[in-house]
Structures are given as C-alpha cells and as structure tokens.
Homo-oligomer: A and B are copies of this chain.
Amino acid sequence: MADAIGITLLGCGIVGGGVVKILSEQRELLQRRSGLSFDLRHIVVRDRSKHSGRNVSTDAAAAIDDPRTQIVVELMGGIAAAGELIERALRLGKPVVTANKSLLAARGRELFSLARKHNTVIAFEASCGGGIPIIDAITRGLVANRIDALLGIVNGTCNVILTRMTKNGWTYQQALAEAQRSGFAEADPTLDVSGRDAAQKLALLASLAFNVTVAEGDIYVEGVDKIQAADIGFARDLGYVIKLLAIAERNAGDRLTLRVHPTLVHRDDVLAEVGDSFNAISIFGHALGHALFYGRGAGQMPTASAVVSDLVDVALGSRAIAFRQQRIYPDSTPAADVLPFEQLESRYYLRLSARDVPGVLADVTAALGRNGISLSAVLQRESNDSQMVPVVITTHLAREGAVRKALAEIDALPTIAPPTVCLRIIDQPKEFAGA
C-alpha cells in the first residue's frame, strides 16, 4: 500500500465538514474503492475557536507550503482570497480541488493556464451539479461526442422555490420565505434567485461541452424573482411546468445560444419531474443522443461526495493526464461565438392584462402579425374583474427580437396594462439532429 496522500483543506463550512466526515468515517470504503488513503494534514479556518483538532490552523500559506501537503482542497468560496491561495498551490505544482464556480467563471482561463504552466491540475466536479458527476460525464463519458445542446436545472434554490409555487400555489415571496426557513435559500438569496449562480455553472459546463471559452457575460440571464403565481397556473393549464433552465445550444455555423431564464417545460418532459433541490442536466450528443444526469445539486454530503471523487481522481493521477491531453479547458479554447440574443428562435408565452377583450385581441394579434409572429394557442377565462382580464397567448417559433418589438407595440396599446409577461417555452432539442 502506498503512503497516505497529504491533504490541506481550505475552509471548513458545510461542504468542508462533509469532506472531513467522509475522509474520517469512510477510510476503509475509500481504501477498497480507490486503493488510496488520505491524511488530512491541515484544516485551515478563519476562526479557530469554532473548530477543534490538532490539524486545525488559520495559516493557509503555511499549510499549502507544507511539503507533506500533496493536494489542496479549496472550499472557502469567494474570489480574491481563494484565488490567491489556489495560485499559491498551483505555483508549487500542487493540484487543486475546488467547488468555487464563481472563481472559475471569473478567472478560469488564467488559473487553468497557471496549472498547465506548473504541470499540475485543477479539478472542479463539485462546482456544478453538486454530487452529480456531470463534469466527468462531459469530459470523459461523452468525449466522442459533438455536443449539440446542454440544458438543465442547475440551481437547487430556484427549483425549490418553483416547486413550492407549483405544488402549493404559493406566491414567490411565500416560497422564498419558506426556502429560507428550511435552509434552501440564503438570507441574501440574490446570487441564486437572480439566475447568476446558474449562469456561472452554465459558463463552466458549456465551455467543456463545446470546446470554447464561455464567459458569464456571454449568457442572457433572467431569474425567478419575477415569476407570478398566475403564470404557474396558466402554464399548468396549457400542459407546462415552469423551471429555471440553463440552456446552451449549438446553432447553424457553430454559433451558440447561451441563456438562463424561467422556461415553460412540457409536463411530459423528464425535466418537468425534477422537483425540490434536485438538479438535472440534459445533454444531446451527436452519437449518444439524449442523456440526462439527475441528482442532488447542493447540500453537504452530495457536494462532499463530488469533492472526494475529485480527490481520488487527482491522487490517482488520471485527472492530470486528461488535463494535459484534452484541449477543452478555457486556457486552450477560443472564445465562444455567441449568437446575439435577439436572434434566438423560441416559442413564447405571453400574458396580457387587457381592458376590453374583444377589441384588444384584434390589436394584439395585429401587432404580433406585423412582426411575423404566429399564434399557437390563446387562453382567456371569464373574469369577475370587469376591469382587467388576463389573456394568455402562446406562439409558434419566433425571433426574440421580433417578440420584443411586438411587445413594445402591445404594451403601448391603450387597452393593455403593461408590462405584458413574456416567458419562453422550450421544446426538447431533436436527437441526432445533424448526425
């Protein structure tokens, strides 16, 4: 048996605690399943008084520099301090395992390049999809595929909120408050509910899937914070469920559309069944066809499971081999060629507040028609409120730009109370599209 692999753990919050738990409680299992044993030499924390143990310290630099530290695990989060310590480890040629999607989305290119320069590696399975081995699937299992689309539910907080709104008929505020009470949303939920967290994950996943570098700014982002209970209900009546999807698709000429927004998913779609804090990512490969990966997208032990799988892969040396060979990491790929969002082709869901329905529907359909948008369905209910009547329209495939133009015209009508709600409907990409 080889010597135990020396580990330094930077940060010991929720996920770090899970890693410590696996490394200490599952020594025998890990030994059998990986052939390795790990020695947690240093746990670096900010406040020593909250932690016990001889291996706990506050001196990150000394822990990283310790010659017996062979792998550095960064679970502190944030950009500046974490980035500096990761750089320190890489400069010493020590591999880094991290779950820090914000850092990689912001500075991935530079850090991967540094790792390559020092003949080492960054592993980041835990940064996307929690415990789901999705990075591994894209970079290894699907290595023989030209990936044509990648889309899914990658933010557990938003999925908890939308699931509660759908199942319990709650408002966004009710669902958010409940998610905060039950630990699924932070006190400041902005990063999650704005869609930014999902966009950072999509930047990483799409970079690896499409062999290009995707920056967070390449991605069109809408969050869940403006979703109204009425739209969840109308969507259901039309046969859809509203999910926050992260979507990357290859279009003609290898141009990508990249977007995170609330999306109407048909109730027969597997993604419609993905509830609560679960994540699920669909991938369409030219050879594989449609595949889907489902599991806990967050939480202590699922995320720790991904961190430890990275630790094993790095310790075995196989991650470094792949990193050296594969030209899919952001330091080795060109910037993504992104289709301007106005050119997106999608189906749309529109909900208008109309004052006088018979007259207004003619005006609305005229505005849509002028912009080349054809209707798929119209849903209008009898209303007790004689002032404002909701009218729901779904469209066939249309251009985002045309829809925006039509919406501006519609919202200017005297019979409409703006703003008209506009959501996108997704049809599953076709399998074997260009195979």
Contact = CB atoms under 8 A, between A and B. Distances in A.
A313 interface: yes
A322 interface: yes
Nearest to A18: B287
A426 interface: no
Nearest to A274: B270
B292 A146 contact: no
Interface string A292-332: 11111001011011101100110011100110111110000
A268 B270 CA distance: 11
Nearest to A141: B133
Interface string A244-283: 0000000000000000000000001010011000100000
**Closest 4 A/B residue pairs (Cβ):** A133-B141, A35-B325, A318-B318, A291-B295
Please state the number of chain copies in the assembly.
2
Contact of A325 (B18, B36, B131, B301): B36
A290 B301 contact: no
A312 B36 contact: no
Interface string A77-88: 000000000000
Given A33-B211, A287-B22, A290-B295, A309 B141 contact: yes
A309 B140 contact: yes
A299 B289 CA distance: 10
Contacts of A304: 144, 287
A354 B295 CA distance: 44
B291 A132 contact: yes
Interface stretch (A6-14, A24-32, A357-365, A407-415): A24-32
Contacts of A146: 26, 29
